[in-house]
């Protein structure tokens, strides 16, 4: 079978490896769709573990189950989480699932034709796909779950104003969810093409990042700043905009962060007087995955309009370049068996 071995964004090789065999408590699945995540192209984040097979946003078909697996059967359609928390430690009890120290099993990279799902993920991290969710749509489950959690942590409430800095795939998911929850959404990006798309999916205001963003925001928002600002870009200029665009008592969410080594200065004295909250959020937990699946299954959020490219595994280098360039793509999906 074929896998994609990532060494860096410019060195991605298609390799032939033997078909894996599942153990008694494992499953062999055929990867039908796997999305390229923004974290996949973040070299500072991935290089320490290279070379490796990336890909964690998967929709798959079960091919073979181990002799002890009774919950699932060959032919069933599934989404598999990248990892599962223990749900028993103090972090999990306090809903800090992403920092659980007891994670044992992780999903092997999905940029492969087949993979073996480890026992822990078979038991607690595998979800049957409802009929209403296609394989391609299933690649949005994990990123939407992350968005669900970030907005919950931000304290965003109905009718509040949320500014989304960066209109890539994650930013657009934040926009769609904010609109479903009855919020006023302001989208900021340097790409007029992405801003135009943001407008078509419900953004109340779109602002080009090259403009005077704080002034444009207040002019369009009745003289108020944003109650919640969500950073979906690592650009330092966007972080500067975030400081200037958050309302008193508001919250700034770092959904994306700059590369290590890039200094970020927080105007803490100003924020202290204005009771500004700074929140980080990078992953999700089981309740968020369940909510994301419900949102997609019920059609509360459409995602098909965000899929710009579907590529075979042999074209994965092209896919990584599309996501890295961030010009002509929103969601790039790799279909390893096409």
Q: Clarify whether residues 123 and 155 are in a common domain.
A: no
Q: Clarify whether residues 228 and 206 are in a common domain.
A: yes
Q: Clarify whether residues 240 and 163 are in a common domain.
A: yes
Whether the CB-CB separation of 142 and 295 falls below 8 Å is answered with: no
Q: What is the pLDDT of residue 31?
A: 98
Q: Clarify whether residues 53 and 73 are in a common domain.
A: yes
Domain membership flag for residue 275: yes
Residue 46 pLDDT grade (very low, low, confident, very high; cuts 50, 70, 90): very high
Q: Clarify whether residues 128 and 190 are in a common domain.
A: no
Q: What is the pLDDT of residue 107?
A: 95
Domain membership flag for residue 293: no
What is the arithmetic mean of pLDDT over 120-132? Answer: 96
Domain that holds residue 226: 144-280
Q: Which residues of 239-258 are buried (b: 16+ CB within 10 A; e: fewer)?
A: bebbbebbbeebbbbbbbbb
Domain membership flag for residue 44: yes
Q: Clarify whether residues 26 and 89 are in a common domain.
A: yes
Q: Clarify whether residues 175 and 260 are in a common domain.
A: yes
| pLDDT tens track for 63-106 | 999 999 999 999 999 999 999 999 999 999 999 999 999 999 99
CATH of the domain at 184: 3.40.50.720
| pLDDT tens track for 128-182 | 999 999 999 999 999 999 999 999 999 999 999 999 999 999 999 999 999 999 9
Angle 173-295-116 from CA coordinates, rounded to 5°: 85
Residue 321 pLDDT grade (very low, low, confident, very high; cuts 50, 70, 90): very high
Based on the structure, what is the number of domains in the chain?
Answer: 2
Domain membership flag for residue 287: no
Q: Clarify whether residues 19 and 127 are in a common domain.
A: yes
| pLDDT tens track for 2-27 | 999 999 999 999 999 999 999 999 99
Q: What is the pLDDT of residue 293?
A: 98
Q: Clarify whether residues 271 and 327 are in a common domain.
A: no
18: number of Cβ within 10 Å: 6
Q: Clarify whether residues 61 and 156 are in a common domain.
A: no
Q: What is the pTM of this model?
A: 0.97
Domain membership flag for residue 291: no
CATH of the domain at 329: 3.90.180.10
Q: Could you tell me what percent of the chain has a pLDDT over 90?
A: 99
Q: What is the mean pLDDT of the chain?
A: 97
Q: Clarify whether residues 89 and 158 are in a common domain.
A: no
Q: What is the pLDDT of residue 263?
A: 92
Structure tokens at 320: 């990584």
Residue with tokens 């994990």: 142
Domain membership flag for residue 215: yes
Q: Which of 230, 295, 292, 288 is nearest to 96 (CA)?
A: 288
Domain membership flag for residue 111: yes
129 φ, ψ to 5°? -80, 125
Q: Clarify whether residues 51 and 76 are in a common domain.
A: yes
Domain membership flag for residue 290: no
């Amino acid at each position: 079978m074929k896998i994609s071995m990532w060494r860096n964004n410019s060195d991605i090789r298609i390799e032939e490896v033997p078909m894996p065999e599942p153990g008694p408590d494992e499953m062999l699945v055929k990867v039908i769709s796997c999305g390229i995540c923004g974290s996949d192209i973040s070299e500072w984040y991935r290089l320490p573990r290279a070379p490796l097979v990336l890909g964690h946003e998967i929709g798959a078909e079960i091919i073979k189950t181990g002799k002890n697996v009774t919950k699932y059967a060959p032919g069933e359609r599934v989404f598999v989480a990248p990892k599962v928390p223990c749900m028993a430690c103090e972090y999990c009890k306090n809903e800090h699932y992403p920092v659980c120290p007891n994670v044992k099993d992780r999903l092997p990279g999905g940029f492969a034709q087949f993979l073996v799902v480890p026992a822990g993920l078979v038991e607690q991290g595998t979800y049957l796909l409802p009929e209403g969710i296609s394989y391609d749509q299933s690649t949005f489950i994990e990123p939407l779950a992350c968005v669900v959690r970030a907005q919950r942590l931000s304290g965003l409430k109905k009718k509040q104003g949320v500014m989304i800095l960066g209109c890539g795939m994650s930013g657009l998911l934040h926009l769609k969810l904010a609109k479903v929850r009855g919020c006023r959404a302001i989208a900021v990006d340097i790409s007029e093409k992405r801003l135009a798309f943001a407008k078509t999916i419900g953004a109340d205001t779109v602002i080009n990042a090259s403009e005077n963003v704080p002034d444009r925001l207040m002019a369009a928002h009745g003289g108020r700043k944003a109650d919640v600002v969500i950073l979906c870009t690592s650009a330092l200029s966007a972080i500067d905009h975030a400081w200037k665009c958050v309302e008193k008592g508001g919250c700034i969410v770092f959904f994306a962060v700059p590369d290590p080594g890039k200094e970020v200065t927080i105007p803490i004295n100003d924020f202290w007087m204005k009771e500004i909250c700074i929140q980080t959020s990078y992953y999700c937990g089981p309740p968020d995955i369940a909510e994301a699946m419900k949102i997609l299954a019920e059609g509360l959020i459409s995602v098909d309009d965000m899929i710009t490219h579907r590529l075979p595994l042999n074209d994965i280098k092209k896919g990584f370049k599309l996501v890295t360039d961030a010009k002509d793509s929103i969601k790039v999906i790799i279909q390893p068996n096409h």
